[in-house]
Copies of this chain bind each other. A is one copy, B any other.
Amino acid sequence: MSEHGIGSQVVTQIAIVVHDIEQSIDHVSRAFGMAKPEIIITDTVEKARTNYRGTSSPAQAKLAFFHLGQVDLELIEPIGGPSIWQEHLDTKGEGVHHIAFAVPDTAAAVAALKEQGMADVQHGYFEGGMYTYVDTAPQLGVMLELLEFFGK
Check A4–B16 contact: CB distance below 8 A: no
Given the interface pairs A27-B140, A31-B113, A116-B30, the reply to whether A10 lies near B69 with Cβ below 8 Å is yes
* Copies per complex of this chain: 2
Query: Which of chain B's residues have a CB closer than 8 A to the CB of A96?
Result: 95-96, 141-142
Check B31–A69 contact: CB distance below 8 A: no
A contact face: mostly helix, strand, loop, or mixed = mixed
Whole-angstrom distance between the alpha carbons of A34 and B112 in the complex?
14
Given the interface pairs A16-B142, A139-B27, A141-B94, the reply to whether A73 lies near B11 with Cβ below 8 Å is yes
Given the interface pairs A31-B5, A31-B6, A31-B116, the reply to whether A11 lies near B71 with Cβ below 8 Å is yes
Whole-angstrom distance between the alpha carbons of A67 and B11 in the complex?
10
Q: A30-B116, A96-B96 are in contact. List 8 more A-B contacts (CB 8 A).
A: A9-B66, A9-B69, A11-B68, A11-B73, A14-B99, A24-B139, A69-B70, A75-B141
